[in-house]
Amino acid sequence: MNYTVNLIFPHDEKSINQYRLLCEEAEIAFIENLDLLFGLFDRQRNLVAGGGILGNTLRGLVSDESFRGQGLMAQLVSSLLSHQAKRGIFRNYLYGKKSYEALYKELGFYTLAEAQNLMVFMENSPRAFSDFLDKLQAETKGNLSDEQFIRAKEEGSAAIVMNGNPFTKGHLSLIEKAHSEQGVCHVFLLEEDVSLFSFQERWEMLKKATAKFPGVLCHKSSSYIISRQSFPSYFLRNLDEAAILQAEIDAQIFVRIAQSLHIHHRYLGSEPHSDLTREYNKILGRVLSEAGIAVHVMERSSSAGGQIYSGSLVRALLKEGKLAEAMQLVPDSSKEYLRKKELK
């Protein structure tokens, strides 16, 4: 039988409901925030397979099990990749069921991590992740003294992952603590450019604030640390079963990064106001502890007036036009960036 792959538009309720039913039967999450949804249809316009695109990630891939063995998934994935190529996107990631892993490998994908034998996270490059690790290692060696490098390799180092939107006194306190306790501290700045402050602005704030600390290394996170590729549900502000699996995958990827850089400690700020981040930290703590990486949670520091040094609070104050109050929550190195936002 011949099948065709077509875009499913938001108003096509029949096809969307058919796709939702396929997801339920396959016991995978129905994803509502896809950029594009595609379906594989038979001649009677019955949906037999479906899947979507979110940025440069293929997600929600599912097929009718009664048609298994007819190459439906292979045809669907090949069509999605062709569509991505037309958009100029050639490096793609994929979330899929573990049971389809062998098929995805045949289509040119390589496994980066998996969670609970249910979900796999893959990319269509055999070298991209190892090249990323090589880059991190080169940055580390090139920015440490010989003594620091040898000590970090033998005794381990610390790591922090942050968004820094914007960089606050709380971020600075966490870096100071990790640096003072471990000597060498890797700071990974999330490279997503979807915040009030652009990635370039956040990167400049981080670099300026940490320039005085020998042994603090700043890295761009790429697509491997809490990105819309490795952990898209982090940006949805909810935690369903799929998000839990994605959080575990993100943690597994960080373990591989930590092992390549001899990171033995991960420092986190407490999260009194974010249920999602707090739950993510629990999963992260479990996975990292199992890998022999100690997790340190620092209580959020606050101003003399009791306000927690929080990026979200700074953004809220800026939105309300309270620049002076926002300025009290950030180091001097961040203040010029707040002024620029206030002028816009």
pTM of the model: 0.89
Taking residues 59-79, report their average pLDDT. Answer: 90
Q: What percent of the chain has pLDDT over 90?
A: 70
Which pLDDT belongs to residue 265?
A: 98
| Separation of alpha carbons 336 and 170, rounded Å | 18
Residue with tokens 């190529």: 85
Within 13 Å, how many C-alpha atoms sit on residue 187's CB side? 29
Q: What is the DSSP letter of 100?
A: G
Query: Does the pLDDT at position 235 exceed 70?
Result: no
- Give the H or E element holding residue 236: none
| Separation of alpha carbons 263 and 167, rounded Å | 23
Phi, psi (5° rounding) for residue 305?
Answer: -85, 0
Residue ranges of domains in the chain, CATH in brackets: 4-123 (3.40.630.30), 128-343 (3.40.50.620)
Neighbours of 145 (CB within 10 A): 10
Beta bridge partners of 122: 94, 111
Query: Does the pLDDT at position 226 exceed 80?
Result: no
- pLDDT tens across 110-166, in order? 999 998 888 899 999 999 999 999 999 999 999 999 999 999 999 999 999 999 999
| Separation of alpha carbons 57 and 295, rounded Å | 30
| Separation of alpha carbons 311 and 317, rounded Å | 10
Reference 189, options 228, 218, 169, 151; nearest CA is 218
E strands present in 184-245: 185-189, 216-220
- pLDDT tens across 288-319, in order? 999 999 999 998 776 656 677 889 899 999 99
Which pLDDT belongs to residue 129?
A: 96
